[in-house]
Amino acid sequence: MRTRGENEVRAFFKAAGLDKEIHRFDESTHNSELAARSLGVQVGQVAKTILLLSGETAIVVVISGDRRVDTKKVRALGYGKRVRLAGPDDVVTRTGFAVGAVSPVALPDGVPIHLDRSLRRFETIYPAAGETNNMFATTPDELLALTGGTEADLAGGQG
């Protein structure tokens, strides 16, 4: 199966009428610490896109790079008794993106997206842009509008 990547993210921005710059790096930015170092920003400004599963339901949470998702808070949104972190195969199957490259934009239709309020601590945040070595700059408000997501308190602490 061919995975989604930067081309799909670029096409998403074009369809939205945005001329977004995608920052590409020589080294991997597949985790928050590496991404923050490459960008020269705080780890919290890196917007991690996390896939969770509740039964057959896929759920995306976008959260600051210095926070962890609290699955109890995700369950409280009405996703059932068991919410778990998706494995690498599920990430590719459900999002089309490789692990470490999942962008909160250009996801398949029907995947609910929740943005954690921890992102609001920063004026500029940096989500992945479809590859393990690229990102784009945005604001919490713009990302909320682009994803059609909802905002909630889903952080469970540092991580």
Average pLDDT over residues 112-137: 96
- Single out the residue of 125, 115, 123 nearest to residue 153, CA to CA: 115
Residue 1 has pLDDT above 60, yes or no: no
Q: How confident is the model at residue 3 (pLDDT cuts 50, 70, 90)?
A: confident
pLDDT recorded at residue 149? 96
Q: What are the pLDDT digits (tens) for 15-51?
A: 999 999 999 988 888 788 888 988 999 999 999 999 9
Characterize 38-55 residue by residue with b for buried, 16 or more Cβ atoms within 10 angstroms of its Cβ, and e for exposed: bbebebbbbbbbbbbbbe
Whole-model pTM above 0.85?
yes
Please, is 138 exposed, middle or buried when counting C-beta atoms within 10 Å of its C-beta (0-12, 13-18, 19+)? buried
Rg of the Cα trace of the chain? 14
- In degrees rounded to 5, what are phi and psi of residue 19? -105, 75
Q: How confident is the model at residue 112 (pLDDT cuts 50, 70, 90)?
A: very high
Which domains are delineated in the chain?
A: 6-158 (3.90.960.10)
Residue 59 has pLDDT above 70, yes or no: yes
Q: Are strands 57-64 and 46-54 parallel, antiparallel or unpaired?
A: antiparallel
Q: Coil, helix or strand for 36?
A: helix
Please tell me the least confidently modeled range out of 24-33, 45-54, 75-84, 125-134: 24-33
- In degrees rounded to 5, what are phi and psi of residue 85? -70, 135
